[in-house]
Amino acid sequence: MEYPKCAFAAPLVAATFGCARAEAVTRRGGPDVACRAAESGRRCAELFERLKAASLPAFGVEDDPERMPHSVLVKIQHGGLLGLQRLVDGTPADTVSDVDALVGRAVARYTGLEAVPCADLVADITGYRLRRRR
C-alpha cells in the first residue's frame, strides 16, 4: 500500500525527530517518509500549511515551489515543531520524539488546529539554525 508523503519529512529523514506514524520509503528523489495514518497525515499537512502561511512573510518569499529555497521549508518543519513543543509542553528542546503525539497534544490544548497560534511560532521558525553539511 502506498502511503501519503509526510508533511514533516525533513526532520524525520535527518533522524533528528521521530514519529509513531512514520514509515521510511524510497522515492525517485531518494529517501523520504510516508504517513501510515490518513487522519494524522491530514492533520500534519494542515498544520504545516498554517505554519508556512504564518512564516513565509517573515522570510520575504512567496509560496512558489520554483522560487522558494528548500532551506525555508526545512526551517518551517524543524522550527515550527520545536516551537509548537515549547508552547504545548512548556519546555524548549532540540528534538521531537513523536510528531504525531505532539500534534495531537496541540489539537487537544487549543481545541483544534485552527486555534493553534502559528503566528507565535514565527520566531522559532526564523530563528532555527540549519546544520551545516560535512
Which tens digits make up the pLDDT trace of 112-131? 999 999 999 999 999 999 87
Would residue 98 count as lying in a domain? yes
Would residue 76 count as lying in a domain? yes
The confidence score (pLDDT) of residue 2 equals 66
Q: Label residue 133 by pLDDT band (50, 70, 90).
A: low
**What is the span of the domain harbouring residue 109?**
39-127
Would residue 18 count as lying in a domain? no
What is the average pLDDT across 14-18? 91
Number of domains in the chain: 1
User: In this structure, what are the phi and psi dihedrals at residue 34, rounded to the nearest 5 degrees?
Assistant: -115, 155
- The DSSP code for 33 is E
Which tens digits make up the pLDDT trace of 27-54? 777 788 999 999 999 999 999 999 999 9
The confidence score (pLDDT) of residue 44 equals 97
| The model's pTM | 0.92
The three grid cell numbers given for residue 69, joined into one nine-digit string: 529555497
Would residue 81 count as lying in a domain? yes
Would residue 5 count as lying in a domain? no
* Cα(120)–Cα(132) distance, integer angstroms: 27
Rg (CA), the chain: 14
The confidence score (pLDDT) of residue 1 equals 58
